[in-house]
Amino acid sequence: MERSPNSIIETVNLNFGFSEKEPLLKNLSLKVEKGAIYGFLGPNGAGKTTTIRLLLGLLQEPAPSITLFGNRLTENRIPILSRIGSLIEQPSLYEHLSGRDNLEITRTIRKTAPERTNEVLALVKLTDVAHKKVKTYSMGMKQRLGVALALLSNPDLLILDEPVNGLDPAGIIETRELLLRLNKELGMTIFLSSHLLSEIEKMVTHVGIINKGTLIFQGTLEELKQINRNAHIVQIKTSNNLSAGLLLEKKYPVARKEQHLLEVPFENKEQVAAIAKLLMAAGLDIYLLAVSGRDIEHTFINFIAENNR
Ligand SMILES: Nc1ncnc2c1ncn2[C@@H]1O[C@H](COP(=O)(O)OP(=O)(O)OP(=O)(O)O)[C@@H](O)[C@H]1O
């Protein structure tokens, strides 16, 4: 398969199982382009953490299927991993030490330049509270410190496992703003997992949905939203559904045309009003005009449900 020069993460038919009998990841082909904020979504147990552990070389891929920065992980482990910052679930922090001391410990172990501590503190906006003990930090501040630890090595790619899971709403917003800033200002590519689309919808550019180890959707957030738009339907009953159907299909993609019920997808409330006006102008009595819509979280849940069928 030809590899895109811009792809930062690429897996081609990645398979993995903890036992030979039970495959967990099945032909997983992920593609994350440079500059993307890629949301890796799926219900609990879908295989997100396992995928992330494979990407980070913490689990061994059975056959070489992972390419990072255009190079195979199996053959270029050290140079590749030195370009990645990661955070798996909650950061492990020394609560009785200050934010700065936490960073200093990791910085010393990783042998990065001394000025890096101040730089990452500024990046995550913790400079003013760097001297305070971590146990006094809010959830959002702890998570930002966790991201700061991942940033010490000045990575090109951030891989974060459930970075907003368990955070309060303020913590979610703080983390979101930080990740958006790192992406926009430093051009960092970000791959993050979540089991809730609503928590990451406002920050991701791309989405991959995994269910039972299989990728069931991959595309831009806009593409996912388009599927969602098509999920809005207005149900119609009139005094003459036959003529109503003929009239509507001149302007709309009528999804269902039956004697007793018509269904028309719509994108906004103005279209619903226009449909009602059109029918009334044709002298038809409207007995039912019912709108059924799904929010984007439901589209995601629906994907999973359809895949489970
Ligand atoms: N070391 C292991 N040995 C055996 N099975 C494991 C191991 N780690 C995870 N699993 C199993 O693999 C499946 C997928 O787990 P994984 O953690 O990748 O899912 P996930 O999508 O990240 O979900 P969650 O959000 O619940 O962590 C689960 O059924 C889990 O119990």
pLDDT of residue 101: 97
pLDDT of residue 228: 66
pLDDT of residue 301: 72
Which of 24, 53, 160, 193 for a ligand 1 pocket mutation test, highest count of atoms within 8 Å of Cβ?
Answer: 24
pLDDT of residue 2: 45
**Nearest ligand 1 atom, CA 195:** 25
Report the distance separating Cα 97 and Cα 254, nearest Å.
Answer: 64
Q: How far away, in angstroms, is 151 Cα from ligand 1 center?
A: 26
79 exposed, middle or buried (CB, 10 Å; 0-12, 13-18, 19+)?
Answer: exposed
Report the distance separating Cα 246 and Cα 238, nearest Å.
Answer: 12
User: Taking the chain (309 residues) in consecutive chunks of 10 residues, what is each chunk's mean pLDDT?
Assistant: 72 93 93 97 92 95 93 93 90 93 94 94 94 94 93 95 88 92 95 91 94 93 78 88 92 82 83 93 94 70 69
As beta bridge partners, residue 258 has none
The answer for residues whose C-beta is within 8 angstroms of residue 258's C-beta and 6 or more apart is 241
Which of 19, 28, 50, 164 for a ligand 1 pocket mutation test, highest count of atoms within 8 Å of Cβ?
Answer: 50
Both structure tokens of 178 = 């930080």
pLDDT of residue 1: 42
Q: Where do you find CATH 3.40.50.300 in the chain?
A: 7-227
Ligand 1, atom 28, residue with closest C-alpha: 45
Classify domain 7-227 by CATH architecture. 3-Layer(aba) Sandwich (3.40)
Ligand 1, atom 5, residue with closest C-alpha: 18
Q: What is the ipTM of this complex?
A: 0.94
Q: How far away, in angstroms, is 265 Cα from ligand 1 center?
A: 39
pLDDT of residue 302: 65
Which residues contact ligand 1 via a Cβ below 6 A?
18, 24, 42, 44-50, 195
CATH class name, domain 232-293: alpha beta
**Nearest ligand 1 atom, CA 165:** 25
Which of 14, 15, 16, 18 for a ligand 1 pocket mutation test, highest count of atoms within 8 Å of Cβ?
Answer: 18
**Nearest ligand 1 atom, CA 42:** 21
Geometric angle at alpha carbon 39, from 38 and 41, rounded to 5°:
145
Which of 48, 164, 199 for a ligand 1 pocket mutation test, highest count of atoms within 8 Å of Cβ?
Answer: 48
**Nearest ligand 1 atom, CA 49:** 22
Q: Where do you find CATH 3.30.70 in the chain?
A: 232-293
The CA–CA distances, whole Å, from 199 to 10, 19, 72, 165 equal 25, 33, 32, 9
**Nearest ligand 1 atom, CA 43:** 21
The contacts found for 289-293 with CB under 8 angstroms, 24 or more apart, are 289/234, 289/235, 289/236, 290/234, 290/235, 291/232, 291/233, 291/234, 291/235, 291/266, 292/232, 292/233, 292/234, 292/235, 293/231, 293/232, 293/233
